[in-house]
Amino acid sequence: MATTRVLHRSLRETPPKAIGGEGIWLIREDGRKVLDASGGAAVSCLGHQHPRVLEAMAKQASKLAYAHTAFFSSEAAETLADHLVGHEPGGLAYTYFVSGGSEAIEAAIKIARQYFIEVGEPKRAHFIARRQSYHGNTLGALSAGGNAWRREPYAPLLSPSFSHVTPAFAYHEKRDSESEADFIARLAAELDAEFLRLGPDTVAGFIAEPVVGATAGAVTAPEGYFRAVREICDRHGALLILDEVMCGMGRTGTMHAWEQEGVAPDIQAVAKGLGGGYQPIGAMLTTNRIVDAIRQGSGAFQHGHTYLGHPMACAAALEVQRVIAEENLLDRVKELGKHLERRLIERFGNHRHIGDIRGRGLFQAIELVEDRATRKSFDPGLKLHQKIKAAAFEGGLGCYPSGGAADGKNGDHVLLAPPYICTPADIDMIVDRLGSAVDSALKSAGH
């Protein structure tokens, strides 16, 4: 007799029920509190049960919960779109509201493809992305992603229209003999060669996360990498598609992570921090150039979902974004990010099994290694990341450990993405609890 009819992520273990939340805390059914140091998967940017967001949701629910976008727009969707792109950041001028990150990526891929059909370049049907990336779990997004273990079982179903190049992941990919400039030049040459191999006039776009999230753990690119990538896309007439599902909406200290890279995308995907978990919502953002081409061509983006522009989701996201703006939370993310980095360095900088501490803003990670000198990862069979997750949870800390950081199979890292509303003392508690969890997991793994 099944004890649960829910198909949980693990079919061997049923997770405890969460019965409440308050700010940075989640409350388990047994009453124990868990400090949500990763906002689930970098979602809960305002923490839990934020009164302003709850009130906005209640107000919207009392007016109108849903109206299909084949017939209606809604005040919530219009106002949220104005808030996000009314000032045309980086030239992004339109939004397409979906229900999460994978849907935002699917929309990004499809609008890029349709744009080239509309402008008379139908041969452009190929996308280049990077290894060690994650763009979502639907088949198009999974085809785009370069996360080896997530792709493996579905490989026969994935589209051959996507190919992958080396990520800008200096800790594992930069050779000791290379300067940062040499490394960027090598990656740029590889990307350029991939355009040439495919035929530059067959490539629709290059897809990348400005700061790589769950797959590799808060990996920032060396300064200048994204400018080099932008130049290559422009030279070959392809679009730059940035996936800010995890790193966007303020997580790295600016509303968009690309603001710190000196480039802007043609198409962008956002989700997680957009609605902060209060409602499922994601968005694809794009430019006048792309929308005008479609308007003057077929007149409609040939795509759609039942829950596009859902009024409840848009109302919740609008209030999340208003709180971020009105409470100057981006400045707070920058300051707290520096504090988090300092504390991580103090705690783990000399730790014999922490090889790298990296990230930006409130988006940081530590990577575990067996040997710091050679950067050799632990045997994946030890499942160290799972041990850390379990030890942290037992110690009242929610964080986001994963395996495969180095190459899709080897490498353990722990990602932190605390809420923007936390205090320096909360950060101290996060680092203390993480330190204990890491040490106890290493001990139980025989290290």
- Reported residue count of the chain is 447
Closest CB to ligand PLP among 145 and 435?
A: 145
Q: Give CA separation, 29 vs 36, 44, 269, in Å.
A: 15, 20, 35
Q: Is 36 exposed, middle or buried (0-12, 13-18, 19+ CB in 10 A)?
A: buried
> Is residue 24 exposed (0-12), middle (13-18) or buried (19+ Cβ within 10 Å)?
buried
Q: Which stretch binds ligand PLP (CB under 6 A): 72-80, 238-246, 346-354, 419-427?
A: 238-246
C-beta of 104: minimal distance to ligand PLP in Å?
Answer: 7
Binding footprint of ligand PLP, residue count (CB under 6 A):
16
Contacts of 331 (CB under 8 A, 6+ apart): none
Nearer to ligand PLP, 23 or 364 (CB): 364
**CA distances (Å), origin 343, targets 139, 276, 322, 402:** 39, 25, 30, 21
Does 257 contact ligand PLP by CB under 6 A? Answer: no
Stretch of 208-216, 220-228, 249-257, 382-390 lying at the interface with ligand PLP (CB under 6 A) = 208-216
* Residue 185 near ligand PLP by CB under 6 A: no
**Residue placing its CB nearer to ligand PLP in the complex, 173 or 209:** 209
Among 21, 39, 47, 100, binds ligand PLP (CB under 6 A): 100
Among 60, 95, 102, 252, binds ligand PLP (CB under 6 A): 102
Q: How far is the CB of 209 from ligand PLP (least distance, A)?
A: 5
Residue 136 within binding range of ligand PLP, rule CB under 6 A? yes
Integer-rounded Cα radius of gyration of the chain: 22
- Answer for which of 135, 174, 230, 360 binds ligand PLP (CB under 6 A) is 135
Within 261-290, the residues that bind ligand PLP by CB under 6 A are 271, 282
Residue 217 touching ligand PLP (CB under 6 A):
no
214 touches ligand PLP by CB under 6 A? yes
Residues found near ligand PLP in the complex (CB under 6 A): 41, 100-102, 105, 134-136, 209, 213-214, 243, 245-246, 271, 282
